[in-house]
A and B are shown apart, each in its own frame.
Chain A
């Protein structure tokens, strides 16, 4: 059974259309990156999945309707919406006690174990912790819950690089076990691309790209050519072209039916490599929306 299944998901805030007929299917055990420019509708989509906002269209999460069954759904779903939502007045010991009190699947000893590896004191209030420590605390709470779906919306926003690395490392090493599903949005695409099993691009309220990482690697190739060979390379109809370090970088979709290009063919033109998600994003989304794409590229760099 699919963990998340959405068909024709729509949501408008007044005249602004946040979700414009989103179709998506996330199987259990996947780690999905939802990438998109600001205002693409990522957070709205996640809020719909979490039962935080109403919507039109069909949406099932773990077989439930999130809007009408949020309470039951939250026994199997965890989310970190961004770094600053833990109440600032609460003490670390109180939040452990509270979650243990209300959540049937929370393992307090496990959370204490994670916290023991950090410098967070039980008696501290959240307002006394640094931003990185608050995220560590939230992650410790979430990882101690035996959930089936974890949703992370910009979980590492505003954290320094050490905390960001540590965040994804503990998520992978201590939490993910192939039966759980993780959906994550972030602008720091390159930091999570080795973590993901699937990637989706969102733009203007729609899913514009949906691909597993293996397929991405098999399907998309990037070749760096010297300017004198650019014309020959362009004849092979690349999806996208950009300049980098005095070379032309061309991105090809080798599966595209009208021009069957293969690795050997490209290798004669220059150095061939797998494009990063950020470059792929620019190629896919940038073709439609140049301005927004350069923004995400800037953020991703």
Chain B
């Protein structure tokens, strides 16, 4: 705090006063995210393990793949050939996405609950890190860290799959050129990135924010509080009015709506898939979802400020 006399002093003092405030915006956030990764190593270990298991299974499938089946592939028409070749790639991407979703849900449910249960919240609150910074850094795990990790791991896995397949084809005396023409790792990565951004990040943001809110609120059994109330709403709506608007709404939000791509519901690397980002940006569902996310996160910040160790 400035007493009048120190405020009157020369400018270098003012510069030093400004520096910490700039510092306070980014550094605590960066360190808070690092801290989350220290505490929850499963955030990267689970996807890495899933990738390793998948590559192992893929390798075995290549070794056991009968020679005549590979030949038969060449006889298929282009569309079916493409489908047969890219299916394992689709599957790998889907596996990483599913892993990231499961990790994200469990992470969020524990994020603001665990620190109250083990009383470490008293330590975190003894440091100059605001509740906003803390909650946003925790929200960034499912919304930034996990999607980026998913894109990177998928691209690396796809590349390794491409190499393994090429070796297998060569070993069978077949040309790899046709195969390479069907598989474009870079293009697939772009499509996966778009899919993650539209569906898994912006589409699912309200769900993760809800889980964070529950974890900031619950005194016990955060998992039950996260899932039972929505189920109860669905049940009541179904029994009372015999409608399922709420369930449909959640389903739409989960599938990422129908606006971002021309073929909603199919895998992101489908050949006929057209991206429709303009259409998606104008869809009300996106903006309603973001408003709900902001409201949930705001409530989580308020709760963290008020809540005491359990």
Contact A81 B128 (CB under 8 A): no
Complex CA gap A75/B133 in Å reads: 15
Would you give the shortest CB distance from B122 to chain A, in whole angstroms? Answer: 4
Contact B308 A52 (CB under 8 A): yes
Chain B residues whose C-beta falls within 8 Å of the C-beta of A57 in the assembled complex:
none
Chain A residues whose C-beta falls within 8 Å of the C-beta of B305 in the assembled complex:
70
Complex CA gap A90/B120 in Å reads: 11
Complex CA gap A81/B123 in Å reads: 8
Would you give the shortest CB distance from B300 to chain A, in whole angstroms? Answer: 16
Contact B128 A63 (CB under 8 A): no
CB-based nearest B residue for A51? B125
Q: Which 4 residue pairs across A and B have the least CB separation, nearest first? A: A101-B31, A87-B120, A71-B130, A74-B128
Interface string of A40-73 (1 = CB under 8 A from B): 0000000100111110000000111000001111
Complex CA gap A52/B127 in Å reads: 12
Contact B128 A104 (CB under 8 A): yes
Chain B residues whose C-beta falls within 8 Å of the C-beta of A94 in the assembled complex:
35, 38
Would you give the shortest CB distance from A71 to chain B, in whole angstroms? Answer: 4
Q: List 9 A-B contacts (CB under 8 A).
A: A53-B308, A62-B1, A78-B126, A79-B126, A87-B123, A90-B38, A102-B32, A102-B127, A103-B128
Contact A101 B122, CB 8 Å, known A53-B308, A64-B1, A89-B39: no
Chain A residues whose C-beta falls within 8 Å of the C-beta of B123 in the assembled complex:
81, 85-87
Further contacts, 8 of them, CB under 8 A, given A70-B130, A75-B20, A101-B31:
A54-B306, A71-B129, A78-B126, A87-B115, A87-B118, A87-B123, A99-B127, A102-B128
Contact A52 B129 (CB under 8 A): no
Complex CA gap A104/B39 in Å reads: 23
Contact B126 A50 (CB under 8 A): yes
Complex CA gap A86/B119 in Å reads: 8
Interface residues of A (CB under 8 A from B): 1, 47, 50-54, 62-64, 70-75, 78-81, 84-91, 94, 97-99, 101-104
Would you give the shortest CB distance from B20 to chain A, in whole angstroms? Answer: 5
Contact B30 A101 (CB under 8 A): yes
| Main SS class of interface, B | helix
Partner of A104, one of B23, B32, B119, B120: B23
Count of residues in B whose CB is under 8 Å from the partner chain: 30
Would you give the shortest CB distance from B104 to chain A, in whole angstroms? Answer: 20
Contact B126 A74 (CB under 8 A): yes
CB-based nearest B residue for A86? B123
Complex CA gap A64/B2 in Å reads: 12
CB-based nearest B residue for A52? B125
Interface string of B31-71 (1 = CB under 8 A from A): 11011001100000000000000000000000000000000
Chain A residues whose C-beta falls within 8 Å of the C-beta of B39 in the assembled complex:
87, 89-90
Would you give the shortest CB distance from B308 to chain A, in whole angstroms? Answer: 7
Partner of B122, one of A52, A75, A89, A104: A52
Would you give the shortest CB distance from B262 to chain A, in whole angstroms? Answer: 45
Contact B28 A101 (CB under 8 A): yes
CB-based nearest B residue for A151? B126
Complex CA gap A104/B308 in Å reads: 26
Partner of A85, one of B1, B28, B30, B120: B120
Chain A residues whose C-beta falls within 8 Å of the C-beta of B220 in the assembled complex:
none
Partner of A88, one of B20, B34, B118: B118
Q: Residue B279 at the A interface, CB < 8 A? A: no
Would you give the shortest CB distance from B125 to chain A, in whole angstroms? Answer: 6
Q: Pick from B23, B30, B122, B306 the residue with the most CB of A within 10 Å.
A: B122
Contact A85 B122 (CB under 8 A): yes
Contact B308 A81 (CB under 8 A): no
Contact B119 A103 (CB under 8 A): no
Contact A85 B119 (CB under 8 A): yes
Chain B residues whose C-beta falls within 8 Å of the C-beta of A72 in the assembled complex:
128
Complex CA gap A74/B127 in Å reads: 6
Contact B31 A81 (CB under 8 A): no
Chain A residues whose C-beta falls within 8 Å of the C-beta of B170 in the assembled complex:
none
Would you give the shortest CB distance from B126 to chain A, in whole angstroms? Answer: 5
Would you give the shortest CB distance from A51 to chain B, in whole angstroms? Answer: 8
Complex CA gap A75/B28 in Å reads: 12
Chain B residues whose C-beta falls within 8 Å of the C-beta of A53 in the assembled complex:
308
Would you give the shortest CB distance from B225 to chain A, in whole angstroms? Answer: 22
Contact A70 B125, CB 8 Å, known A98-B34, A102-B28: yes
Complex CA gap A75/B17 in Å reads: 12
Would you give the shortest CB distance from B138 to chain A, in whole angstroms? Answer: 14
Q: Residue B27 at the A interface, CB < 8 A? A: yes
Contact B120 A75 (CB under 8 A): no
Would you give the shortest CB distance from B25 to chain A, in whole angstroms? Answer: 11
CB-based nearest B residue for A53? B308
Chain A residues whose C-beta falls within 8 Å of the C-beta of B1 in the assembled complex:
62-64
